[in-house]
Chains A and B, each alone.
Chain A
Amino acid sequence: MLAYIVRRLLILIPTLLGVSIIVFMMLRMTPGDPAELLLGERATNEALVEVRERLGLNEPLHVQYGLFLKRLAQGDLGETIWTRQKVWTEIRERFPATIELAVVALGISCVVGIFLGIVSATRQYSIFDYLSMLGALIGVSMPIFWLGLVFMLIFSLGLGWLPISGRLSIGVSIETITNFYILDSLLTRNWVALRDVIWHIIMPAVTLSTIPTAIVARMTRSAMLEVLRQDYIKTAKAKGLSNFKVVYKHALRNALIPVVTTIGLQFGVLLCGAILTETIFAWPGVGKWMYDAVMKRDYMVIQGGTLFIASLFIFINLAVDVLYAVINPRISVR
């Protein structure tokens, strides 16, 4: 197992190298000059020359890439073009917000999605099955942007239950240790802040969870249907086991493999930042940050951010593979 993990981690290096080359080249091929965007209408020719010089944009591409790699080897992602902060500092400031939102959204998706999937599979072609699968279809196809605004109109403006946007109310303070607000408020036993943080995360998390919930529900349903047809399920039933035990102990465990894969992939997607959800709910995460960077051609942010996300993806995939072995002892990782 350990050897397997180490081997997988070693693959990280060539993968990231590949990612960095692709991102680097794609960025330079995309039209749009960061210096022009930085200076806007007021740019003078002299100022442009100076900015390009400072950003090293006048160097030939291979020299620029070499410099980037050299810094990367020292663990330095460089400085952003716009804010002139360290890229790593900017990632550290924003990632906790994204991860927190993604974890809560994924939690909702797992619980709701798996539950819906099981129930529809066990009552195939029932009204519940139709309803939940219709719900799943709507969930996948609902424009997040619209859904978020509708939630706001109902739950904030109409009922006044939940705050509209942001991570924390003005006037509530939190001592940031990890920048994960839920964790921080628990660590400092700040219950006022904890309540406020949870209140703020509900709406964006539910909005963000609609698509993964629908995907998980459909995947669970089809996997369960397949497993439920197997002989050993018949055997288990014939043994006189309760329906609950058959479904949750025998069937679910075997059906979970494709579901876990799906969940892992969805988590990766959520971590890249939910651009729309973050934008609507003014959630200070990484999705909005990367999006803005693309618009402003902040090469450094896009390069650093992509590399970071790529490595996260690899870690999540690894975790999923390891989970297989835990869920199903017949699979062993070597």
Chain B
Amino acid sequence: MARKLGVLLVVLALVWAVPVLAADTPKSGGTIVFGRGGDSVGLDPAYETDGNSFMVCDNVFEALVAYQDESTALEPGLAESWDISPDGLTYTFHLRKGVKFHDGTPFNADAVVFSIGRMMKERKVKFMDPKLTIPAQERTPEYWVSMEMDSTVDSIEAVDPHTVVFRLKRVEAPFLANLGMDFADIISPTAFSKDPKAFVRNPVGTGPFKFVEWVTDDRIVLEKFADYWDKRGGPYLDKVVFRAIPENSVRFLELKTGNIHICQFPNPADIDLARKDPNLKLTEQPGMNIGYLSFNHTKPLWQNADMRRAIAHAINTKAIVDNIYQGMGQVAKNPIPPTMWGYNESVPGFAHDPELAKQYLAKAGYPEGKGLPEITLWSMPVPRPYNPEGLKVGVAMVSDLKKVGINARIVSYDWGTYLKRQREQPEDMDLFQLGWTGDNGDPDNFLAVLFDGLASDSVRTQWKNEKYHELMLKGKQTIDQNQRAAIYKEALQLIYDECPVISIAHSTVIWPALNNVQNFKLHPTSSVRMKNVWLK
């Protein structure tokens, strides 16, 4: 009897212990349902521009280089390693062997030349297989164009089945980081050539999940790719379903009832509910973005740095972040997020100091605001990732300005007109709100794109500063990251000194999930990676 009891105890102990031991070991199987606000537009990474499309592509495709799990630091992707020539103009990628596309096509140098080459305006490409050709391009590869890849890449050549050489027209330090972006994903040339028009709805890549089904405006279903090359971790899930549920509160209800596992962009009020719910947990990640207020630098009034400083000190950014971002943001002191290399910790930021603002105002020739005409403050009509409510932020700013004697009024248009008119820097625009979400984790992608008005008239803040322009050029042309970080720190100091822009906030992304979702990490680029996710 005693022995039987002993055996029973041991068995019980084992039964109890096994789940404890197994708790942190990834388990295979199951279907995860990701609830999101809208459907994808298309699934050909070269041509998409929206997050809902990229998040599916992130799981179906891979690029030569990859961003690390929770940062934009680079790691090998489909390229095992790469060499950069001393002059910075030739990049040689050594490709991973034994990788297959979902349709069985082997991954090789030709696939790389095909995928990237198809976006080039002038296709200076060379394949191993002389019969391979790229069908004519029917659409504009928006990201390729906006990252100015045509002025960077000269030619792409497959030198052997597992080596690709990129020759550049100019030294471009962010080039490698660009290749980690979705638009540079590698696609199956076989699948694309078979029917180039249909590919956008039937994507074939090398990623951990393969595409199964797309029910428009409802769901996209992916399935585990059994022949995935990387055996170190996942995919663990059998299926991944992206479900479109447009209404935020309904999406959250679906999460509460357990019908979806992760809820994208909940209402801020629901985040508190999620925090209290024992079945839910919150995943959080500071977004790689900046919401800012800038000036119409074409008007003489705003070419006076004291005027700009007066505005900067008048505005209470902390109150804006506390009340309007509702805890989903942090006050910004640099126009790049703190998680990014090159961030300048020593910049003090503009303290909220109405007295100091008044002093600057007097220095600029408008004591107590006397003689200053009413100024306009352009505010965004739509929520953006970096600013949940542009109009409310505008109202708060107007009242802050009033306190130092500056009369301002809010101007807003529909979003398309806002973007268009802002670009024209019209006379009736004094201050404007706008922002940016980073693409590749490179400071150049914020600092040059947003503030170097001498580089291009497409730059939203037409701030023209010789010294800043030189720093931006130097940043692009220096390959060593430490040296570049120093350059960008200097640029950030210059931005603080000259105050061409007032950094308001970096928004934080918080998505609730069911407790049994394991290893789901939000990425700064907002990409959604299911590879290592598993269900308890």
Give Cα A168–Cα B415 distance, bound, in whole angstroms: 35
A282 touches B246 (CB 8 A): yes
Chain B CB within 10 A, most for which of A36, A39, A82, A149:
A36
B218 touches A282 (CB 8 A): yes
Distance in angstroms from B450 CB to nearest chain A CB is 9
Q: Is the beta-carbon distance between A152 and B456 smaller than 8 angstroms?
A: no
Residue contact B458 to A83, C-beta cutoff 8 Å:
no
Smallest CB separation, B69 vs chain A (Å): 25
Please tell me if A76 contacts chain B, counting CB pairs below 8 Å.
Answer: no
List 3 tightest A-B contacts by C-beta distance, closest first.
A284-B217, A32-B416, A44-B458
Cross-chain contact of B250 among A45, A82, A152, A160 (Cβ < 8 A): A152
Cβ contacts under 8 Å, B346 to chain A: none
Partner of B217, one of A33, A46, A50, A94: A94
- Residues 147-182 of chain A: 1 if any B CB is under 8 Å from the residue's CB, otherwise 0? 001001100110010011111101100000000000
1/0 per position for A16-43, CB-CB distance to B under 8 A?
Answer: 0000000000000001111011111111
Instruction: Given A31-B416, A36-B420, decide whether A170 and B31 contact each other with a Cβ distance below 8 A.
Output: yes
What per-residue 1/0 map shows which CB atoms of B202-233 lie under 8 Å from chain A?
00000000000001111100000000000000
Determine the chain B residues whose CB is within 8 A of the CB of A157 once the complex forms.
253, 256-257
Complex: chain A residue closest to B44, CB-CB: A84
Q: Give 12 CB contacts A-B under 8 Å.
A: A31-B414, A32-B415, A33-B420, A44-B146, A44-B456, A47-B145, A54-B139, A149-B249, A164-B257, A167-B218, A282-B247, A284-B244
| A31, A41, A93 pick with most chain B CB within 10 angstroms | A41
Residues of A within 8 A of B217 (CB): 93-94, 284-285, 288-289
Distance in angstroms between the alpha carbons of A267 and B72 in the assembled complex: 52
A149 to B251, CA, bound (A): 11
- The number of residues on chain A lying at the interface, defined by a beta carbon within 8 Å of a beta carbon of chain B, is 50
**Closest chain B residue to A169 by CB distance?**
B259
Contact A165 B416 (CB under 8 A): no
Q: Given A84-B42, A164-B257, A289-B217, decide whether A54 and B140 contact each other with a Cβ distance below 8 A.
A: yes
**B489 at the binding interface (Cβ < 8 Å):** no
B139 & A43 in contact (Cβ 8 Å cutoff): no
Task: Specify which chain A residues have a CB less than 8 angstroms from the CB of B75 in the assembled complex.
Answer: none
Residues in chain A near residue B457, CB distance under 8 A: 45
The size class of the interface chain B forms with chain A is: 35 or more
B85 within 8 A of A: no
Contact yes or no, A281 B250, CB < 8 A: yes
- Contact partners of A40 in chain B: CB under 8 A: 49, 419
Cross-interface CB contact of A44 among B139, B145, B241, B246, cutoff 8 Å: B145
Chain A positions within 8 Å of B414 at CB level: 31-32
Chain B residues in 8 Å Cβ range of A45: 423, 456-458
Residue of A nearest to B32 (CB): A170
- The chain B residue with its CB closest to the CB of A152 is B253
Q: Is B33's beta carbon under 8 Å from chain A?
A: yes
Q: Is the CB of A282 within 8 A of B244?
A: yes
Known: A32-B414, A54-B139. A93 touches B216 (CB 8 A): yes
CA distance A275 to B249 in the complex (A): 16
| B443, CB-defined interface residue at 8 Å | no
Q: How far is the CA of A46 from the CA of B243 in the complex (A)?
A: 35
CB neighbours (8 Å) of A90 from chain B are 216
**Known pairs A93-B216, A282-B250. 8 more at Cβ < 8 A?**
A31-B416, A33-B420, A37-B415, A37-B419, A44-B146, A152-B250, A170-B243, A280-B247
Complex CA–CA separation, A42 to B246 (angstroms): 25
Residues of B within 8 A of A284 (CB): 39, 215-218, 244
- Asked if A46 and B145 make an inter-chain contact with CB atoms under 8 angstroms apart, the answer reads yes
In the complex, the answer to whether A170 meets B33 with C-beta atoms within 8 Å is: yes
Kindly provide the distance from the CB of B382 to the nearest chain A CB, expressed in whole angstroms.
Answer: 9
Seen from chain B, the residues whose Cβ lies within 8 Å of a Cβ on chain A are: 31, 33, 38-39, 41-42, 47, 49, 139-140, 142, 145-146, 148, 200-201, 215-219, 241, 243-247, 249-250, 253-254, 256-257, 259, 384, 413-417, 419-420, 423, 434-437, 449, 456-458, 460
Residue of A nearest to B416 (CB): A32
User: A153 to chain B: which residues have CB within 8 Å?
Assistant: 253
| Minimal beta-carbon separation of A156 from chain B (angstroms) | 6
Given contacts A37-B415, A82-B41, contact A50 B145 (CB under 8 A): yes
- Which residues of chain B have C-beta atoms less than 8 A from A122's C-beta? none
- Which chain B residue lies CB-closest to A276? B247
> In the bound complex, what is the Cα–Cα distance between A163 and B325 (angstroms)?
32
Q: In the complex, A167→B449 CA distance in Å?
A: 43
Nearest Cβ distance between residue B300 and chain A, in whole angstroms? 24
- A57 → chain B closest CB, angstroms: 12
Check if A279 is an interface residue, CB within 8 A of chain B.
yes
Q: Which of A32, A54, A93, A288 has the most CB of B within 10 A?
A: A32
A297 within 8 Å of B by Cβ?
Answer: yes
Nearest CB of B to A45, in Å: 5
Instruction: Collect the chain B residues with CB atoms within 8 Å of residue A288's CB.
Output: 217, 246
Expressed in whole angstroms, the Cα–Cα distance for A93 and B256 within the complex equals 30
Q: Which residues of A contact B423 (CB under 8 A)?
A: 43, 45
A250 to B416, CA, bound (A): 59
Min CB distance A170 to B, Å, is 5
A251 to B240 alpha-carbon distance, docked (Å): 58
A51 within 8 A of B: yes
Partner of B41, one of A46, A83, A281: A83
Q: Mark A175-219, 1 if CB is under 8 A from B, else 0.
A: 000000000000000000000000000000000000000000000
Given the known inter-chain contacts A50-B140, A157-B256, please indicate yes or no for A37 contacting B416, CB distance below 8 A: yes
Chain B residues closer than 8 Å to A282, beta-carbon distance: 218, 243-247, 250
A47 and B434 alpha carbons, distance in the complex (Å): 19
Residue of A nearest to B459 (CB): A44
Shortest distance between the CB of B242 and any CB in chain A (Å) = 11
B253 touches A39 (CB 8 A): no
A167 cross-chain contacts in B, Cβ below 8 A:
218
Of the residues A93, A149, A166, A279, contact of B243 by C-beta under 8 Å: A166
Q: Which residues of A contact B259 (CB under 8 A)?
A: 163-164, 170
Taking CB as reference atom, which chain A residue is nearest B39? A284
Q: How far is A50 from B137 in the complex, measured between Cα atoms in Å?
A: 13
Residues in chain B near residue A168, CB distance under 8 A: 218
Least Cβ–Cβ distance between B478 and chain A, in angstroms: 24
Contact flags (1/0) for A48-64 with B, using CB distance below 8 Å?
Answer: 00110010000000000
Q: Which of B146, B250, B437 is A39 in contact with, Cβ under 8 Å?
A: B146
- Say whether B219 contacts A170, CB under 8 Å: yes
Interface contact B246-A31, CB-CB below 8 Å: no
Contact of B142 among A37, A47, A149, A163 (CB under 8 A): A47
Distance A85 CA – B139 CA, assembled complex (angstroms): 12
In the complex formed, the residue of A with least CB distance to B200 is A84
A38 contact set on B, CB distance < 8 A: 49, 142
Inter-chain contact B417/A94, CB cutoff 8 Å: no
Tell me the bound Cα distance from A36 to B250 in angstroms. Answer: 30
Instruction: Decide: A170 and B416 in contact? CB cutoff 8 A.
Output: no
Once the chains bind, are A32 and B218 in contact (CB under 8 Å)? no
- Given A33-B416, A157-B253, are A43 and B458 also a contact pair (CB < 8 Å)? yes
- A282 vs B423: C-alpha distance in the bound complex, in angstroms? 36
Contacts of A46 in B (CB 8 A): 145, 458
